[in-house]
Amino acid sequence: MTAQDTTPALRARAMASLHRAQAPHQSGAPAGKPVRRLPVQKDWPIWALVAAQIGILLGALSLWEIGARTGWIDAFFWSQPSAIAETMTVFFTTGDAWTDISFTFRSTIIGFLIGTTAGSLLGLSFWWSRNYAAVVQPYVICLESIPKLALAPLIILVFGIGLVSKVAVATALTLVVSTLTAYAGVKALDPDGEKLFYSLGASRLQVFRKLVVPFCLPWIISVLRVNIGLALTGAIVGEFIASQHGLGRAILYAGQTYDIALVWVAVLVLSTLAIVMYAAVSWVESMLRKGVRQ
Amino acid sequence: MSSSAPKLCVADVSMTFKTPTGAFHALAPVTLSIPQGRFVSLIGPSGCGKSTIFNIIAGLLEPTGGRVLIDGIDATGTIGRVGYMLQKDLLLLWRTVLDNVILGMEIQHVPLRAARERALPLLHRYGLAGFEYLYPNALSGGMRQRAALLRTLLFDTDVILLDEPFGALDAQTKLKMQEWLMQLWSDFSKTVLFVTHDVEESIYLSDEVHVMGTRPGRIIATIPIPLARPRVRGSVLSGEFLAIKERCLELLHLDTTASQAVNEAA
Ligand SMILES: Nc1ncnc2c1ncn2[C@@H]1O[C@H](COP(=O)(O)OP(=O)(O)O)[C@@H](O)[C@H]1O
Ligand SMILES: [Mg+2]
Q: How many domains does chain A have?
A: 1
Minimum mean pLDDT range among A133-147, A264-278, A280-294, B202-216? A280-294
The rounded Å distance from CA B163 to ligand 2 centre is 7
Please, what are the domains in chain B? 1-77+201-266 (3.40.50.300)
Tell me the pLDDT tens digit for each residue of A72-125: 989 888 999 999 999 999 988 887 888 999 999 999 999 999 999 999 999 999
Residue A3: band (very low, low, confident or very high) from pLDDT cuts 50, 70, 90 = very low
Residue B262: band (very low, low, confident or very high) from pLDDT cuts 50, 70, 90 = low
Q: How many CB atoms lie within 10 A of CB A257?
A: 10
Of residues B79, B86, B92, nearest to A201 (C-beta): B79
Contacts of B103 in chain A (CB under 8 A): 200, 210
pLDDT surpassing 90 at residue B242 = no
The rounded Å distance from CA B43 to ligand 1 centre is 15
Residue A183 structural domain? 75-293
Residue of A nearest to B137 (CA): A294
pTM listed for this prediction: 0.80
Contacts of B108 in chain A (CB under 8 A): 200-201
Cβ <8 Å between B79 and A292: no
For chain B, give the longest Cα–Cα distance: 62
pLDDT surpassing 60 at residue A282 = yes
DSSP collapsed to 3 states, chain B: CCCCCCCEEEEEEEEEEEECCEEEEEEEEEEEEECCCCEEEEECCCCCCHHHHHHHHCCCCCCCEEEEEECCEECCCCCCCCEEECCCCCCCCCCCHHHHHCHHHHHCCCCHHHHHHHHHHHHHHCCCCCCCCCCHHHCCHHHHHHHHHHHHHHCCCCEEEEECCCCCCCHHHHHHHHHHHHHHHHHHCCEEEEEECCHHHHHHHCCEEEEEECCCEEEEEEEECCCCCCCCHHHHHCHHHHHHHHHHHHHHHHHHHHHHHHHHHC
Tell me the pLDDT tens digit for each residue of A139-183: 888 888 888 888 888 988 999 888 999 999 999 999 999 999 999
A2/B181: higher pLDDT: B181
The rounded Å distance from CA B50 to ligand 2 centre is 6
In short, whether B246's Cβ falls inside 6 Å of ligand 1 is: no
Residue A21: band (very low, low, confident or very high) from pLDDT cuts 50, 70, 90 = very low
Contacts of A206 in chain B (CB under 8 A): 107
Contacts of B88 in chain A (CB under 8 A): 190, 192
Tell me whether residue A109 is in a domain: yes
In short, whether B46's Cβ falls inside 6 Å of ligand 1 is: yes
pLDDT surpassing 90 at residue A212 = yes
pLDDT surpassing 90 at residue A30 = no
pLDDT of residue A12: 52
Tell me whether residue A46 is in a domain: no
CATH of the domain at A215: 1.10.3720.10
Contacts of B156 in chain A (CB under 8 A): none
Tell me whether residue A4 is in a domain: no
pLDDT surpassing 80 at residue B257 = no
In short, whether B159's Cβ falls inside 6 Å of ligand 1 is: no
Tell me whether residue A92 is in a domain: yes
Of residues B83, B90, B94, nearest to A214 (C-beta): B94
Tell me the pLDDT tens digit for each residue of B3-23: 567 888 888 888 989 989 888
Q: What is the mean pLDDT of residues B250-265?
A: 68
Tell me whether residue A62 is in a domain: no
In short, whether B77's Cβ falls inside 6 Å of ligand 1 is: no
Distance from CA of B56 to the nearest CA of A (A): 11
pLDDT of residue A51: 96
Tell me the pLDDT tens digit for each residue of B62-117: 999 889 888 888 888 888 889 999 888 899 998 999 999 999 999 999 998 999 99
Minimum mean pLDDT range among A26-40, A234-248, B127-141? A26-40
The rounded Å distance from CA B157 to ligand 1 centre is 26
Q: What is the mean pLDDT of residues B177-190?
A: 88
Quote the CA–CA distance of B246 and B151 in Å, as a whole number: 35
- Average per-residue pLDDT for chain A: 87
Strands of B73-74's sheet in order across:
B22-34, B8-19, B65-70, B73-74
In short, whether B51's Cβ falls inside 6 Å of ligand 1 is: yes
Nearest atom (ligand 1) to Cα of B87: 21
Residue A294: band (very low, low, confident or very high) from pLDDT cuts 50, 70, 90 = very low
Tell me whether residue A201 is in a domain: yes
Cβ <8 Å between B86 and A199: yes
Q: Where are the alpha helices (DSSP H) in A3-44?
A: 8-22
| Ligand 1 atom 9, closest CA | B52
| Ligand 1 atom 26, closest CA | B47
Beta partners for residue B41, in sequence order:
B194, B209
Please answer whether residues B123 and B132 qualify as being in contact, where contact means their C-beta atoms are separated by less than 8 angstroms: yes
Residue B264: band (very low, low, confident or very high) from pLDDT cuts 50, 70, 90 = low
Distance from CA of B58 to the nearest CA of A (A): 6
pLDDT surpassing 90 at residue B228 = no
pLDDT of residue A165: 92
> Mutation test of ligand 1: which of B18, B46, B51 has the most ligand atoms closer than 8 Å to its C-beta?
B51
pLDDT surpassing 50 at residue A185 = yes
Residue A15: band (very low, low, confident or very high) from pLDDT cuts 50, 70, 90 = low
Q: How many CB atoms lie within 10 A of CB A182?
A: 27
**Percentage, residues of chain B above pLDDT 90:** 27
Chain B residues interacting with chain A (CB cutoff of 8 angstroms): 55, 58-60, 79-84, 86-88, 90, 92-94, 103-104, 106-108, 135, 155
pLDDT of residue A4: 45
**Burial letters A258-277, b for 16+ CB under 10 A, else e:** ebbbbbbbbeebbeebbeeb
Quote the CA–CA distance of A101 and A227 in Å, as a whole number: 19
Tell me the pLDDT tens digit for each residue of B159-177: 999 999 888 888 888 888 8
In short, whether B24's Cβ falls inside 6 Å of ligand 1 is: yes
Tell me whether residue A15 is in a domain: no
pLDDT of residue A29: 53
pLDDT of residue A288: 83
Residue A187: band (very low, low, confident or very high) from pLDDT cuts 50, 70, 90 = very high
Tell me whether residue A5 is in a domain: no
pLDDT surpassing 80 at residue A228 = yes
Q: How many CB atoms lie within 10 A of CB B172?
A: 9
Residue of A nearest to B135 (CA): A293
